[in-house]
Structure 1
């Protein structure tokens, strides 16, 4: 582990953390066998996770702002420090003696480490600078002969919209051309027809709530202004490595939408009001149409669902049967071995297997021999204690992402057997494991690739005795 300081800022001032430390001492959970307080947590600019006991409101009473004011005010000081330091979040561990002597370890940052989610432990380790998971590198397959749907009718679409939105302000040809130049693509004729009727700018809207509702009802989405159109390529759909590496791009031969993360042919033009984006699809699946309307769910990392065969159909209310999303749970490309899914490694072995996730397992530890040498296996995630022999990982020569427990990583490190072809890695942490030991392990892995270490900055101070 690296013990060093980074650029001075208020985040490295003990006084910035003093209210949080007092809160941990006064309301933190601690082991009764040790009179000292040991705690770990994470604070970000917009969220935090602290091991404190919160007051439970009386039955029938909701939590009030006053119930959390002390915690909010303590965290707020640290959040200002994060802004001062240019950080999004920071993890910490703390030890506070009964006399009030406090030692605080700040963990991070490192440009080679993703943030943990709701935990003080590090997220995925990016071992190769700029590396992205394989699904995020996939481009759409060509679909020879793909054409617009017979229902696509720009003239009918424009005429219908003008009848239903007689007071709307349309975009000029110059504004449409500017959008095309910014995106680097030619907009489909249906989309141009839509924006010629309504450019959907805030300044064009009135305080007439019914008029706003009517606009959304007619267009059947919250239409973006031209300046907010964007291409939903893979880079626009951000996802942490430890989740992204477990996805797979699968497009069955009868699919209307390709099972991609994103595409240079997905032009996002609106929202359904719930965070799901609507796009015109210029790179359809084998059974799809050029210019079909698809929906990208904010709850999924990959794939899209067909909404309508054309923008004309969408406005006319002729919607398609729900399709799309992850194709058939991506089997056999993705396999889950655990007490509720596949009964063993043999059941997962397949020449097309890309992702093997081993979860909670109550039987004897598993051998990886059945999947050794599989040509497409690129991701292995194994819950702690599920592998009979971690050194069998050496037989998985195509891995780009590996997620293991600390003991399994220790075996590989001690044997000099960490797969050299990895692009990223992750450490599965169980709740009682110290962030300091996990950070030390992470830094060993980062050092193998000569990547920036996780910095540990130690602050010491005296909180005084409990009043």
Structure 2
């Protein structure tokens, strides 16, 4: 089998790219780029729709699937998680120059793009929401509805054939987790241990318990590390838990003990670190599509299993200045309107007026993230006045201004280069990224393999 770095592996895909982008690849500096991994790919090729009246078939775009498939096979053969690529015209008539870019320890992976992901400017640094631990709530107690005996009795009545976990199995789970099982959760597993082989019909325990129960050996603590939040997302969030909240809106907590799933990928957990209006041992749901927060399911396991409560409780709406402010032509109308002492994240989006000054947010003690759309800032060098920034996301032109002026903030933990997927050449963006990494004494992005081949 041809290897990943053999031009023969790429030639079918190069032919398709050359045909689809003939004008672009004929221009000086013209390029196309993409990313391929064993499970997904982003390749700039036109999609052929199905014939009217029938569903799309693989055969409608078979040549694309076959061409990408050769690269995927080579990735699997090499044990690689993926590769980014840039295609440029070469001096050889009808030929192209292919740049293959390996992953780097100095950057998070890009998402569906060949551009480098977030630059990691400090070893082991994490976004502030990921670092946040739960606040103590010393007055929190179990809900009045929590009743271990009623819960066990009801489960035995509704699941008479259930097999419970032994004391040894429960002790082993607690040792692995590093915390005792909460009383109601322990009572549940004493009645039903959750193994699939114990049931002919898995709907039985689901319908009775209200979720897909994990086997005891798969119960885990949903701390912040379990959520795997990328910098580009985590830095744009803020942890905000008000006195009216029953659940602390964290990325994760050492007190979230996951024991099930709702069948759609959202995790169901017992919460031992509730919000100010919550209860110790309440049941929460942790969404798989979000980066932060969880919702209340029921005040207790008894409340969920016995009384069939699944919708939590209404939370009163409380208006507060936003910790995350989106300034653009349809949301917050100005920097002045966004500024307040608690502001943590400022995102300046599409802006149809004159470029803005950052002066209204100078000196804000909690402003840690700034993201700005191309051309939105009147003077990018004003960024140097924002002394608490941890994450800065800018287009290449704005980064160029800061670098040339020696005005890149010195306290950043991570940086994003907001490049256009096809207009900005990833090789040029990578050179810019390496300048930023050098300022912070970080290893450069390397691992570029150049292949020449015919694409006619």
TM-score band by shorter chain is: over 0.9
2:205 to 215, 219, 223: 215
| C-alpha deviation, 1:87, in angstroms | 3.0
Q: 1:306·1:324 contact (CA, 8 Å) conserved in 2?
A: no
Partner of 1:31: 24
**Superposed CA RMSD:** 2.2
- Label 1:406 to 1:35 Cα distance change in 2 as closer, same or farther (>3 A): closer
Of the structure 1 ranges 331-340 and 275-284, higher mean CA displacement relative to structure 2 is found in 331-340
| Separation in 1, partners of 2:189, 2:177 | 16
- Label 1:394 to 1:138 Cα distance change in 2 as closer, same or farther (>3 A): same
Partner of 2:137: 143
- Alignment of 1:286 with 2:304, yes or no, is no
| C-alpha deviation, 1:28, in angstroms | 4.3
Deviations 1:117-174 (A, max 9, x none): 1222111111111110011111111111211001101111011011111111111111
| Separation in 1, partners of 2:134, 2:86 | 45
| C-alpha deviation, 1:56, in angstroms | 2.2
| C-alpha deviation, 1:68, in angstroms | 2.6
| Separation in 2, partners of 1:50, 1:41 | 5
Of the structure 1 ranges 254-263 and 36-45, higher mean CA displacement relative to structure 2 is found in 36-45
Deviations 1:245-269 (A, max 9, x none): 0111111012111111110000001
| C-alpha deviation, 1:33, in angstroms | 6.5
- Alignment of 1:242 with 2:235, yes or no, is no
- Alignment of 1:40 with 2:33, yes or no, is yes
Partner of 1:4: none
| Separation in 2, partners of 1:308, 1:222 | 16
Partner of 1:5: none
2:156 to 162, 180, 190: 162
- Alignment of 1:153 with 2:147, yes or no, is yes
Deviations 1:187-212 (A, max 9, x none): 01110111111111122222xxxx32
Partner of 2:165: 171
Partner of 1:3: none
- Label 1:82 to 1:303 Cα distance change in 2 as closer, same or farther (>3 A): same
Partner of 1:124: 118
The within-5 A match list for 1:47-446 is 47-96=40-89, 99-206=93-200, 211-316=201-306, 317-321=308-312, 331-431=321-421, 432-446=423-437
> What secondary structure is seen at the aligned counterpart in 2 of 1:31?
helix
Q: 1:93·1:106 contact (CA, 8 Å) conserved in 2?
A: yes
Q: 2:237·2:292 contact (CA, 8 Å) conserved in 1?
A: yes
- Label 1:461 to 1:149 Cα distance change in 2 as closer, same or farther (>3 A): same
- Alignment of 1:10 with 2:10, yes or no, is no
| Unpaired runs of at least 5, structure 1 | 1-8
Q: 2:130·2:229 contact (CA, 8 Å) conserved in 1?
A: no
Q: 1:25·1:96 contact (CA, 8 Å) conserved in 2?
A: no
When the two structures are superposed, what TM-score results if normalisation uses the length of structure 1?
A: 0.92
Aligned residues: 452
